[in-house]
A and B are shown apart, each in its own frame.
Chain A
Amino acid sequence: NAGVTQTPKFQVLKTGQSMTLQCAQDMNHNSMYWYRQDPGMGLRLIYYSASEGTTDKGEVPNGYNVSRLNKREFSLRLESAAPSQTSVYFCASSDSYNEQFFGPGTRLTVL
């Protein structure tokens, strides 16, 4: 089992460009999450999906959109990237709000 996978691992964008971060899990979890981590800080929840077909805003949703494509996949889209979105992005999945399993992260730089 691969657990939680994320693509890409690294990305550099120019201000105003768009991109989609991909996440997939093979643990049959209902819930999936997108976080961002800035230097010296904990993780902040961007969006989450409690089950297939539902998505909800987290703590810092502005500038992002998400799609729960199916039970396995949860993507995060930046429509018009800004330097403030430079961060490390983590995807996670869990079953019934217990232990979360995290992907390896995507390091995004917006110039």
Chain B
Amino acid sequence: SQQGEEDPQALSIQEGENATMNCSYKTSINNLQWYRQNSGRGLVHLILIRSNEREKHSGRLRVTLDTSKKSSSLLITASRAADTASYFCALNTGNQFYFGTGTSLTVIP
């Protein structure tokens, strides 16, 4: 499968701490995207990194991409209770998207 694999599956941290989640994949990609899903809701796009980029920032989010290792990481700094959600990486290989299995993040106030 070209599906991304994320780790950890679940992560619990205190408010104010940083959260890091990782995505590994097997195929060549055009870009890699990260999405957030609050319980019972649709997915919301967070950030996109192209295959020729190594790092990207957006507010409290930092994404890295290592195409030689076929891996990406998402760092959320200074976490807040409102960051509690599931986070998914999505691989774009052209016409199609392949989603990872997700990391469930709980931020304890």
Roughly how many angstroms separate A4 CA and B101 CA in the complex, as a whole number?
23
Shortest 4 CB-CB contacts between residues of A and residues of B: A42-B99, A102-B42, A43-B99, A99-B45
Roughly how many angstroms separate A63 CA and B68 CA in the complex, as a whole number?
37
Instruction: List the A residue with the shortest CB-CB distance to B99.
Output: A42
B73-107 to A contact mask, C-beta < 8 Å, 1/0: 00000000000000010101011111111100000
Instruction: List the B residue with the shortest CB-CB distance to A50.
Output: B95
Chain A interfacial residues counted at CB < 8 A: 26
Q: What would 11 more interface pairs be, CB under 8 Å, given A43-B99, A97-B95, A100-B90?
A: A4-B42, A42-B3, A42-B100, A42-B101, A43-B43, A43-B88, A43-B90, A50-B95, A90-B43, A99-B45, A102-B44
How would you classify the secondary structure of chain B's contact residues: helix, strand, loop or mixed? Answer: strand
Would you call B41 an interface residue if the criterion is a C-beta within 8 Å of the partner chain's C-beta atoms?
Answer: yes
Q: Please classify how large the interface on chain B is, using the bins under 10, 10 to 19, 20 to 34, 35 or more.
A: 20 to 34
Would you call A56 an interface residue if the criterion is a C-beta within 8 Å of the partner chain's C-beta atoms?
Answer: yes
Roughly how many angstroms separate A58 CA and B102 CA in the complex, as a whole number?
20
Contacts of A58 in B (CB 8 A): 96
B31-74 to A contact mask, C-beta < 8 Å, 1/0: 10101000001111100100000000000000000000000000
Contacts of A35 in B (CB 8 A): 99
CB within 8 Å for A97 and B101 given contacts A42-B88, A102-B42, A104-B42: no
Roughly how many angstroms separate A50 CA and B93 CA in the complex, as a whole number?
13
Contacts of A99 in B (CB 8 A): 33, 45, 48
Chain B CB count within 10 A is highest, among A33, A42, A44, A98, for: A42
Roughly how many angstroms separate A42 CA and B88 CA in the complex, as a whole number?
7
